[in-house]
Amino acid sequence: MIEFPLLSLLTFLPLIGAFFIITIRGDSESVAQNAKYTALYTSIFVFVLSLYIMLTFNPDNGGFQFKEKVEWLPSLGISYTMGIDGISLFFVMLSTFLTPICILASWDAVKLRVKEYMIAFLVLETLMIGTFCALDLFLFYVFFEAVLIPMFLIIGIWGGPRKIYASYKFFLYTLLGSVLMLLAMLMLYSQTGISDVETLMQNPVAANLQYVLFLAFFASFAVKMPMWPVHTWLPDAHVEAPTAGSVILAGVLLKMGGYGFLRFSLPMFPEASDYFAPMIMTLSVIAIIYTSLVALVQEDMKKLIAYSSVAHMGFVTLGIFSMTTIGIQGGIFQMISHGLISAALFLCVGVVYDRLHTREMSRYGGIVKNMPKYATVFMIFMLGSAGLPGTSGFIGEFLSLLGTYQVNILMSLLAATGMILGAAYMLLLYRRVVFGPAENRDALAMPDLNSREIGILAPLAVMVILIGVYPAPLTSRIEPSVDRLMAIYQTNIGKTLEPKKATLVDAEPLNDSSEPISLTYKEQAHD
Amino acid sequence: MAFLSVFSPLIAFFFAFLFGKQLGDRGAQFLTCAGVILAAMCSCFLFVDVAINGHTQTILLMNWIDVGGFEATWNIRLDTLSVVMMCVITIVSSCVHVYSIGYMSHDPAKARFMSYLSLFTFAMLMLVTADNLLQLFFGWEGVGLASYLLIGFWNTKHSANSAAMKAFIVNRVGDFGLVLGMFTIFVVFGTIHFDEIFAVAPEKATVLFNFMGFQVHALTLACLLLFIGACGKSAQLGLHTWLPDAMEGPTPVSALIHAATMVTAGVFLVARFSPVFEYAPDALMVVCVVGATTAFVAATIGMTQFDIKRVIAYSTMSQLGYMFFALGVSAYGAAMFHLVTHAFFKALLFLGAGSVIHAMSDEQDMRNMGGIWKKIPFTYALMWIGSLALAGIPFFAGYYSKDIMLESAFADYTWFGHYAYWMGIAAAFMTAFYSWRLIIMTFHGDPRANKEVMSHIHESPKVMLLPLIVLAIGAIFAGAALYKPFVGGSSHHGADDHHLEVDLHHSDNETEHHNNEHDNDAPVLEEDHEDTTAWNRIGFWKDSIKVMPENDTVEAAHNVPKWVKLLPTIMGACGIFLAYVIYLWGAGLAGKFTKLFKPLHNLFFHKWYFDELYNVLFKEGAIGFGRMFSRTDKGVIDGLGPDGIARSAVCGGGILRRIQNGFVYQYAFIMMIGLICLITWVVFGGMQ
């Protein structure tokens, strides 16, 4: 049965929009205006289409849906395969949700080369959606890798003063990782002759090969996440990127690493995953504590949020490599939640940056007086980032920690200190920017949010609270796919893993009568 | 009804916060007060329905999280414990709401203030009506947030912001324990729903838990972790440093959050988990010792402070310590009893202090007060009532609750019970002393304020006095009225025999027997148990609190020697007398005493140096490490990684073009290397 290729339509619609923008001619003013509107309408349409996909998505099916398969290089057995499951669905949603927001956020901020800017964003959207939909190794690689290019351009052309250094660093880091991944992919392909992801999942390669391949994939995904110690490109990239660039970078691009772990590493290299899990968990815990502490001493708002992203991604890898259903779901939820919250936080920084053109915290302070609406929305995201229950941030953090606790108490305990530190640096940021004595006159002259800014921040705020209070629409769609992933993982590993609840010693009576200890005190007292 | 009682404050918060401007100050004040008073009325109705008529119920609102076997829902759980809390919360909150209309009349952001108060009330109600740990945690952090917002309400004040942050972060340290406790409970029980946990707690009493290589008693571990959370919220020793600083907030906030309700959440948590704590005697011992020590230490600090609000804050901490040691000896009913009476008289004291501060043009230092009792006689009288209740003078509320706690501690007949008793006695003496020190310094003697301030002193408006009267009624009568249902002894006389007899039962039989006791129709093992009505302790608490019969110290407390019962009152009277001697009759005596006990006074005055220690240990430590790691990032990781490579690859001018060209070059280069490697591998790999 041939279905309508919805996913391809979704993926390539932005590209069509971009094509239209290229054809726009006229004086620069009207070109810019038309380009903006074309980009906005395209991205909104894509979002509506993705909503339709989400609503028609069958939540009971853990497998891939909306599948499409077209022969690409038949002689090599490589084909164009698309499909989504519960894991990728919400990353697609995140991409389509954030792109219109980014375009709106750049409405007034970008004045230079507007046309190219909009094209870059639409192309980026295509590539992001493609990455999450691709079900062929090489197709995935093409999308995954190509994402670098528009992002590199966005930082390199529309970035801040040190944009060259930042974009260079960004490119070098990610490239190094992905080259290793390409090698691994080729190796995998040469061994199995299969490039179809689903088939590969069912047929894992020999165990001794897994370790090498796992590390090569890991190199790429770890940089993307980013995990400690390959995280240093992120603060620089964020600081120099334009607001919308940071939003996409934090909101979607970082999630590709986590997605990759779930799609490739866990099912295809189960034994290696199991083997390296302690190492990755250790790195995650280091990331959480280390970067939280670094975030605590930052002066630059964007840098602080960038470091907090690394810490939050630490919870993701921790959850994923706990290899428990709860932990993996926590990791996925944390990624989605972080996609919303960090995107919103960067937008919040963008709001004041547009007004005062500085990200130094000390240049602000006391702006709650003149910007009460801003203070309110910023508060919501700040608390979401600190993981307050009732926001999405809490659920992700909580579930990943709980999943970890089931298998490794020490890791969970150490990572949970991130809760304390997270609250500390976010409150510090808020206090220095929004509260405090009103000393900087120019900061106090800033006008409150305008309707466009409310329009981009309010949906995010609503989403953060909504899925924090009622996450069922997400979790009910994610769960079957995670269960399936776990099933594949466990069959592939050759043995069905005992649910790792080694922490409990089965009811071993302290003494035969099982009398509470307090009894003895009492009896002595009465004697 | 239940829905209204919990959600009307939320609705009020919503409208007052979002539409404060449109509603105007009056509108917002009216709306929030109406919301909370409505909640209070519903709560009182529920109290009758649930606690007295016995209609315990749990209402399911919505699913929350349902992931991989982990399930949490939104509920309204109504049992005696929660409706008692609801009544306390909503009644005190109503008083504070109304009081705030007067107190904040000069503040420009009235709507915001009122809405925060309502938000707090909602979060607190969510906390006490939770049916699972996660919802409890939601309320727990929600009250923390409201507390943060309200402490830092005057957000341009540096000290207020610091205090707010400190409160939030120190509370987070406690929450860290609470979360881990929740995890432990989930791993042990496979659920976080209260009923399911409590039902199987006896079976889990023997389970061991592998905690980082150590075999520990699972329930003890879970309880201790929960207790860390309780310590944070309830300002027990170690995690108490935020409470005194929290006095930076407006006084109505201190009354509502930092005296009557939020800080008692920890007590509530332990009482709620009594069915688990009962099987973790070691955890109870820790609770008892920490509580007793807190009661003592806080009282010593309270004696030396000069800020009127801080004195009351330390007194709150000390009283919370009392509640915890009562919990520690399984006298949950007594702790809850003190929680209720304390809510009334401490809120009264705080609001009274607020009234004084209001009258003195925002002066908080007692050294600048004095000689004003004739000018504000009403406030003066109310402060007396509050202090009498606090000091445990007979027939005021505090007398009943404090004495039963001390007697229960004594009746536990364990070393920590005795420790708690003697610490409590010492603290009772100090409590009376600092209470009258406060009254004398504030109201008596020669006026120490300047003329300007003195000329402005005025009695507070009616809108502020009315709530004080409501609270004063509670502070006088709550003790006598609630004594019987909360902690009353069993109806028959041979209580001692009864106690012994119960002891001989096995734990398993006991639980069964315990349940039987609650069912009216079930055959009762003991003699004539016609006392299942609400006016009896067991009939009142029903299943909401569980005490194993051999731990029933409240019962035993009715049979302690006479001197045990009399000592607290005598010590209280002595404390009052000493305060009069030192501060009113013997001029200059205070200074001499201070000199005489210089080192001790220093220790107390500097709050046992907790703040200094924590600053060095944690704040400086965290920032130091942060700086160090920040340098590591730049120096080591970047230096070895990208920057190092970049330096060797790029130098000199024209960087832009070169790098961009360089990219293509490098990309191609790396691709080449990759390709070479690949081919090599395929070739050699294929040959093998």
Contacts across the A-B interface (CB distance below 8 Å) = 238
Whether the pLDDT of residue A522 is over 80: the answer is no
Q: Which range among B285-294, B514-523, B624-633 shows the weakest confidence by mean pLDDT?
A: B514-523
- Shortest CA distance from B285: residue in chain A: A518
Task: Give residue B533's pLDDT band: very low, low, confident or very high (50, 70, 90).
Answer: low
Lowest mean pLDDT among A132-146, B30-44, B635-649: B635-649
Tell me the nearest-neighbour CA distance from A273 into chain B, angstroms: 21
Contact B506 A402 (CB under 8 A): no
pLDDT of A486 strictly over 80:
yes
- Whether residue A479 and residue B500 make contact (CB cut-off 8 A), yes or no, is no
* CB atoms near residue A156 (< 10 Å): 21
More confident residue, B603 or B87: B87
pLDDT at B19 over 60: yes
Closest CA to A184 of A88, A272, A254, A276: A272
* Three-class DSSP category at B53: coil
Are the C-beta atoms of residues A313 and A290 closer than 8 Å to each other? no
Verify whether the Cβ–Cβ distance A294 to B626 is below 8 Å. yes
Q: What sign does the dihedral B59-B60-B65-B69 (CA atoms) show?
A: positive
Quick one: pLDDT at residue A523? 37
Instruction: Tell how far CA B153 is from the center of its chain.
Output: 20
**Which of B180, B642, B677 faces A183 most closely, judged by CB atoms?**
B677
| Statement: residue B226 has pLDDT above 90 | yes
Mean pLDDT across chain A: 84
Segment B663-672, tens digit of pLDDT: 544 555 555 5
pLDDT band per the 50, 70, 90 thresholds, residue B635:
low
* Mean pLDDT for the stretch of residues B299-307: 89
Which residue, among A155, A168, A382, A426, would best test binding to B if mutated, counting the most B CBs under 10 Å from its CB? A168
What is the pLDDT at residue A132?
Answer: 92
pLDDT band at B293 (very low <50, low <70, confident <90, very high): very high
**Higher pLDDT, residue B271 or B519:** B271
Contacting residues of B for A438, CB less than 8 Å apart: 156
Instruction: Give me the mean pLDDT over the B28-39 stretch.
Output: 91
Least confident window among A20-24, A394-398, B601-605: B601-605
pLDDT for the residue B660? 47
* Across A196-200, B108-112, B309-313, B600-604, least confident range: B600-604
Mutate to test the interface with A, among B10, B18, B21, B67 (most CBs of A within 10 A): B67
Contacts of B158 in chain A (CB under 8 A): 436-437
- Express each pLDDT in B544-600 by its tens digit: 888 888 778 888 888 888 888 888 888 888 988 888 888 877 767 777 777 777 777
Q: List CB contacts (< 8 A) between A367 and chain B.
A: none
A32-64 tens-digit pLDDT: 888 888 889 999 999 999 999 988 888 888 888
Does the pTM exceed 0.90? Answer: no
Per-residue pLDDT averaged across B508-516, rounded? 40
pLDDT bucket at B435, cuts 50 / 70 / 90? very high
Query: Which comes out higher in pLDDT, residue B638 or B64?
Result: B64
Quick check: A484 pLDDT over 60? yes
Check residue A27 and give left, alpha or beta (phi > 0: left; psi -120 to 50: alpha).
beta
- Tell me what the mean pLDDT of segment A497-507 comes to: 46
Q: How close, in Å, is residue A381 to chain B by CA atoms?
A: 13
> Is B651 exposed, middle or buried, given 0-12, 13-18 or 19+ CB atoms closer than 10 A?
exposed
**Which stretches within B360-461 are classed as H helix?**
377-391, 397-411, 415-443, 451-456
pLDDT of residue B681: 56
Distances (CA, A) of B688 to A437, B681, B685: 73, 10, 6
Q: Which of A69-83, A246-260, A465-479 has the lowest mean pLDDT?
A: A69-83
With CB atoms and an 8 Å threshold, state whether B168 touches A526.
Answer: no
pLDDT at residue number A128: 92
Residue B30 identity (one-letter amino acid):
F
Q: What is the DSSP string of A149-174?
A: HHHHHHHHHH--TTHHHHHHHHHHHH
pLDDT at A17 over 80: yes
pLDDT at B267: 93
If pLDDT is split at 50, 70 and 90, which confidence band does A314 have?
A: very high
- Is 60 exceeded by the pLDDT of residue A78? yes
* DSSP secondary structure code for residue A227 in this structure: P
Q: What was the pLDDT predicted at B286?
A: 92
Residue of B687 and A343 predicted with greater confidence: A343
Question: H or E element: which one contains B506?
Answer: none
Handedness of CA B417, B418, B419, B422 (dihedral sign): positive
Are A405 and B187 within 8 A, CB to CB? Answer: yes
In this prediction, residue A392 has a pLDDT band, given cuts at 50, 70 and 90, of: very high
| Whole-number Å distance between alpha carbons of B21 and B622 | 41
Residue A175 has pLDDT above 50, yes or no: yes
Cα of A471 to nearest chain B Cα, Å: 7
Q: Read off the DSSP letter of residue B208.
A: E
B39 near B80, Cβ under 8 Å?
no
Give the minimum alpha-carbon distance from A266 to chain B in angstroms, rounded to a whole number: 18
Count Cβ atoms within 10 A of the Cβ of residue B596 and give its class: 0-12 exposed, 13-18 middle, 19 or more buried: exposed
A79 by DSSP, 3-state: which? strand
Chain A residues with CB under 8 Å of B134 CB are 389, 398
Shortest distance, CA A43 to any CA of chain B (angstroms): 30
Query: Which two structure tokens, joined as six digits, stand for B519?
Result: 């069912």
Residues of B in contact with A412 (CB under 8 A): 180, 183
Instruction: For residue A432, give how far its alpha carbon lies from the nearest alpha carbon of chain B (Å).
Output: 10
pLDDT the model gives residue B363: 82
- pLDDT for the residue B445: 81
Are A232 and B210 inside 8 Å of each other by CB? no
Closest CA in chain A for residue B133: A389
What type of residue is B173?
Answer: V
**B653 or B117, which is more confident:** B117
Chain B residues whose beta carbon lies within 8 Å of the beta carbon of residue A394: 141
Q: Which of B169, B184, B208 sits opposite A505 (nearest CB)?
A: B208
B443-486 pLDDT per residue, tens: 888 888 777 778 878 888 888 888 999 999 988 888 888 888 88
Indicate yes or no: CB of A523 within 8 angstroms of CB of B503. Answer: yes
Structure-token match 């670094």, residue found:
A294
Q: Where are the alpha helices (DSSP H) in B60-132?
A: 80-103, 110-128
Q: Do A437 and B187 touch (CB under 8 A)?
A: no
Beta bridge partners of B62: B74
Out of A232, A389, A522, whose CB is closest to B638?
A: A232
What would the pLDDT profile of B371-407 be if each residue is shown by its tens digit?
888 888 888 999 999 999 998 888 888 888 998 999 9
Please check the confidence at residue B323 and state whether its pLDDT lies above 90.
yes
- The reported pLDDT for the residue numbered B670 is 59
- Taking an 8 Å cut-off on Cβ atoms, the answer to whether B281 and A518 are in contact is yes
Give yes or no for residue B535 having a pLDDT over 70: no
pLDDT of res. B675 = 58
Residue of B nearest to A478 (CA): B67
DSSP class of A106: T
> Between chains, do B206 and A169 touch, taking CB under 8 Å as contact?
no
CB atoms within 10 A of CB A253: 24
Chain B neighbors of A398, CB-CB under 8 A: 134, 179
pLDDT at B650 over 60: no
Model ipTM value: 0.87
Percent of chain A with pLDDT over 90: 26
Residues 6+ positions from A293 with CB-CB distance below 8 Å? A421, B622, B625, B626, B629
Range in A51-65, B65-79, B518-532 the model is least confident about = B518-532
Average pLDDT over residues A115-120: 87
